């Protein structure tokens, strides 16, 4: 059991080390694809986004793109931890930037619920 926990922890660290700071502003598709490959590599079923609109939107797009890539699997669960007042965590719309620098919206993402701690802001 202890070795299983170590392996799980290593996967989480690896995911964080690669993804932390790697999704640039406006979520370029290249960054999204890098993180999608990493999600597949570690078998993640939850994504936690920290930050403002760009990281929260990018993680919503990640859940959508992952579902496109693997329609037979359950949706990856997205937990948003906002650090700004972008309100991206309240929307079911996400966005990213194409290789041609065109902003692309992704709509009708599954929306679970949001929780807010007024004391945390």
Average pLDDT over residues 2-9: 43
Decide: residue 42, CB within 10 A, 0-12 exposed, 13-18 middle, 19+ buried: middle
Q: What is the pLDDT of residue 83?
A: 84
Report d(CA 105, CA 94) in Å as an integer. Answer: 6
| Interval 47-98: pLDDT, tens | 888 788 888 888 889 889 999 999 999 888 888 888 888 888 778 888 899 9
Domain ranges of the chain: 2-110
pTM of the model: 0.74
CATH number assigned to the domain covering 2-110:
3.40.50.1970
Average the pLDDT over each of 22-26, 74-78, 99-103, 109-113 and give the range with the smallest value. 109-113
Q: What is the pLDDT of residue 67?
A: 92
């Amino acid at each position: 059991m202890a070795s299983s926990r170590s392996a799980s922890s290593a996967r989480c660290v690896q995911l964080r080390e690669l993804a932390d700071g790697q999704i640039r502003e406006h979520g370029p598709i290249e960054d999204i694809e890098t993180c999608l490959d990493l999600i597949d590599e570690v078998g993640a079923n939850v994504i936690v986004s920290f930050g403002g609109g760009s990281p929260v939107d990018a993680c919503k797009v990640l859940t959508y793109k992952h579902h496109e890539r693997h329609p037979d699997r359950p949706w990856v669960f997205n937990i948003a931890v906002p650090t700004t007042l972008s309100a991206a965590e309240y929307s079911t719309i996400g966005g990213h930037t194409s290789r041609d620098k065109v902003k692309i919206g992704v709509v009708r993402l599954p929306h679970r619920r949001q929780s807010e701690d007024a004391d945390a802001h």
